[in-house]
Amino acid sequence: MARVVVGNGGNGVEEVRNKQVIFRDYVSGFPKESDMQVSTGTLKLKLPEGSNGILVKNLYLSCDPYMRLRMTRIEGPNVFTSFTPASPLTGLGVAKVLDSGHPNFKKGDLIWGTTGWEEYSVITGLEGFFKIQHTDVPLSYYTGILGMPGLTAYVGFYEVCSPKKGEYVFISAASGAVGQLVGQFAKLMGCHVVGSAGSKEKVDLLKNKFGFDEAFNYKEETDLDAALKRYFPEGIDIYFENVGGKMLDAVLLNMRALGRIALCGMVSQYTRDQPEGVQNLMCLIYKRIHMEGFVVFDHYNIYPKFLDIVLPYIREKKIVYVEDIAEGLESAPAALKFEPKISNFGRTISRSFAIDSESGEMEMIKKDVYSFGIVLLELLTGKKQSQMTNFPNGLDGTLVQRNNHISSTSCGMYDVIDKSLVAKGYDGEIFQFLKIACNCVQPCPDQRPTMLEVCETLRAIRERYGLTVKDDYELLRQPEIAAAITTEPEIIEVKSQ
């Protein structure tokens, strides 16, 4: 997408159009698309003199269940506050610093924290913002497994529930962004794990992708108490609560003595005028159950410890993570309007928005490199970019994330490369080309090589494998590649009156 310049504000400071998702007014019941609107304003790409805030370009925004709660009128003491009508929505996101008046942040830093649902934001309250130091994983992970949902799962399971090997763990809304991680943490501890979900597809996901021991579709159970007794004949040691209502009541009957319950969310109650009552609270007393509510923002101090534990799990592929990334702020109202279900904690899987296609960058810095990478991927896979969806082991995510994953193993490469290119004596060269392509389409432009570095890498491959200069020349003469490596970033300038 082209960057749109609307003038210089009359003082030499560049102004850009800034697309925003505006919250119209407080919501009763389930949100509708009409409760929000996408509008476009303008913003100066320079902080006011003396500001101690930061100006950021938002790259990914996370769509989370608690946001629907904030669309209602919240009164009295509460950890959450209502959204402000006629103002942009706010939520967790990944951003790049464009200008800074704060000593802890500098231009070019990648960060995650609470930002506006807009293309650019000026942020003055910087508590709860974290610099992104590890860019060998997709940036979108910082709206999910390495962001608030991941830390929520970690805090609720390890800090609140104090798990032990061999214990019996039940997770409601288990296919959600938090639930899928709690289940995998529990399996790594050596626990027996069962999850509930709302469809056969989600149940299959829990058992076959996330490694749960068992899972069931709550919609097919007329008696939740009987269902839990079937899956936990000896009772439940740990319950990770995401939904509330009838499920919590049934769980209380099936908890073991000295069991622990982490109250993470109660999504089935968020839009009810009158919350459902819980009938079996006496179980807390005679079973000596510890039930604790928690909010992840109170535990941001352990984020470094969390990263030290979870990053190796990701790199060693001990944890898998499923994302659903929509493109563009225009997708936001539709995502927030759907009815929360007891099965999915408001989102089937981790859901976020890339502000722009693939990279999240409006400017498309190093667009020549990115375009070359796409062309090279298409040549090596035999597929157009839009067709690159069939990948091994049910791998999900964007084109960039899938290809970064498969490029790490030769087995993954064999599965994705066009079969007509394989086993002809050039597999080594082809694998090297695929790695170059994956580097060229990194989600953050700063992580991409320059075109000169690409050429130097190609030259090194030529020398290593004994290719000729003629081979290089013929490759670069291909129309698609020649166009890709000469494309300049497009800037559309709209003069202000």
The domain ranges of the chain are 3-144+321-354, 148-300, 367-488
Q: Where are the beta strands (DSSP E) in 73-191?
A: 87-88, 90-100, 110-116, 120-123, 130-131, 168-171
**Residue 130 phi, psi (nearest 5):** -125, 135
Fold of 3-144+321-354: Quinone Oxidoreductase; Chain A, domain 1 (3.90.180)
CA distance 443 to 182: 27
* 3-state secondary structure at position 27: coil
CA distance 228 to 291: 19
DSSP state of 45: S
| Per-residue confidence in pLDDT tens, the chain, 497 aa | 445 555 565 566 789 999 999 999 998 877 888 888 999 999 999 999 999 999 999 999 988 878 888 888 888 877 788 999 999 999 999 999 999 999 999 999 999 999 999 999 999 988 889 999 998 888 989 999 999 999 999 999 999 999 999 999 999 999 988 999 999 999 999 999 999 998 999 999 999 999 999 999 999 999 999 999 999 999 999 999 999 889 999 999 999 999 999 999 887 776 677 778 899 999 999 999 999 999 999 999 999 999 999 999 999 999 998 887 777 777 777 666 544 333 332 333 445 666 654 333 333 345 677 778 888 888 888 876 555 544 444 334 445 455 555 544 444 556 677 777 766 666 777 888 888 888 888 766 667 888 778 888 887 877 776 655 555 555 455 444 454 444 443 333 343 33
CA distance 360 to 391: 23
In sequence order, the β-bridge partners of residue 90 are 116
What's residue 391's pLDDT?
Answer: 43
- Answer yes or no: pTM beyond 0.85: no
Locus of tokens 């993954």: 412
Fold of 367-488: Transferase(Phosphotransferase); domain 1 (1.10.510)
DSSP state of 489: P
Fold of 148-300: Rossmann fold (3.40.50)
Q: Is the dihedral of CA 374, 377, 383, 386 positive or negative?
A: negative
CA distance 248 to 204: 23
